[in-house]
Structure 1
């Protein structure tokens, strides 16, 4: 691509020189006037080449820099008040023994009540009371992101939520315990699958927000 652009510019310059020589022989235009005219066109050609190179370099840099950062956070990007609000007390949990009593060598380690694996992503798995938020319910939780109800817990009754984080450190540094309004985006039907979670997290229109919440290692 670059060689093609340079070749075209050189051909243009040679054409200008050839045209100028012919015009000089026919019209008697002074050599200095022709020289000035050629120099001006040569400078314009170089400027054009410089702008083209700069544009190509910028596009290359953008393509290597990864996803474009959103101008707004997910909290600011939508009018969440259009959805039903529900006040809850939310805590954080992990897949480890401190929260579930399970160790990594347990066959059920990292598996939720619904059968899907715990996940911290744009759409993360959360635990709730199914009588309040049925399995599969999609919530928007300010400062956490989307939560898909996939788990339950003996202490998670009524208006309580448990939000999944990868480590205990993440729980304490990023959340702790909060009482806040969450927004019901979609009420669940009692089930959720890995394929449904994958589809939500791979939604192309939402990728600009994904790194805002995603911490899972791939």
Structure 2
């Protein structure tokens, strides 16, 4: 049932995107126009994933990383407004240079998992990322500082909400990977 709803939404989106100039004539003519248009279009190439070499370090919500104590009202809140999270099974929040990786960018970081850019850091400039961990002990024990090749799964559009992050996490729980169109559905 969910798959049928998904297909129906994709069908609706397709027809909403049609140019007004294509919306002339009877439904039969529209169908013929769409079929002929489809046959003229080249087949889409397989989706390629861009890889980028970055220096990855770890950070926490604590004073040592953010200058905020647990009683601060913004403790654990990222630049995007979402709460920091580390979830090895789905998606974690990370910090990046927003000129390189805008908010909402989804990366796959070998040895860490999937991360969504939700934060920025004063020392995070260029091809550097900061991976969220709950404690400084975890930062040093599990990560430290590494140069890694990350995969850019989807470039963000500069926004990220708690609802979007939750939906992405739930989709990943079910499939154990990010379905191609889940991000478009979250927006």
TM tier relative to shorter chain: 0.5 to 0.7
Q: Give the 5 Å matches for 1:43-192.
A: 82-121=48-87, 122-192=90-160
- Mapped to 2, the partners of 1:82 and 1:188 lie a distance apart of 16
Aligned-pair RMSD on alpha carbons? 1.3
- Mapped to 2, the partners of 1:192 and 1:164 lie a distance apart of 16
Alignment correspondent of 2:11: none
Specify the SS of the correspondent of 2:121.
coil
Alignment correspondent of 1:205: 175
Larger fraction in helix: 1
Alignment correspondent of 2:180: none
Gaps of 5+ in 2: 1-46, 178-187
Q: Give the C-alpha shift of residue 139 in structure 1.
A: 0.4
How many matched pairs?
127
- Mapped to 2, the partners of 1:132 and 1:114 lie a distance apart of 16
Gaps of 5+ in 1: 1-80, 208-218
Runs of 4 or more, structure 1, over 4 Å off, are: none
Residues 136-179 of structure 1: per-residue CA shift (max 9 Å, x gap)? 00000000000100000110000000000000011011100000
Q: Give the C-alpha shift of residue 82 in structure 1.
A: 4.0
- Mapped to 2, the partners of 1:90 and 1:82 lie a distance apart of 23
TM-score normalized by the length of structure 2: 0.66
- Mapped to 2, the partners of 1:206 and 1:200 lie a distance apart of 11
Alignment correspondent of 1:22: none
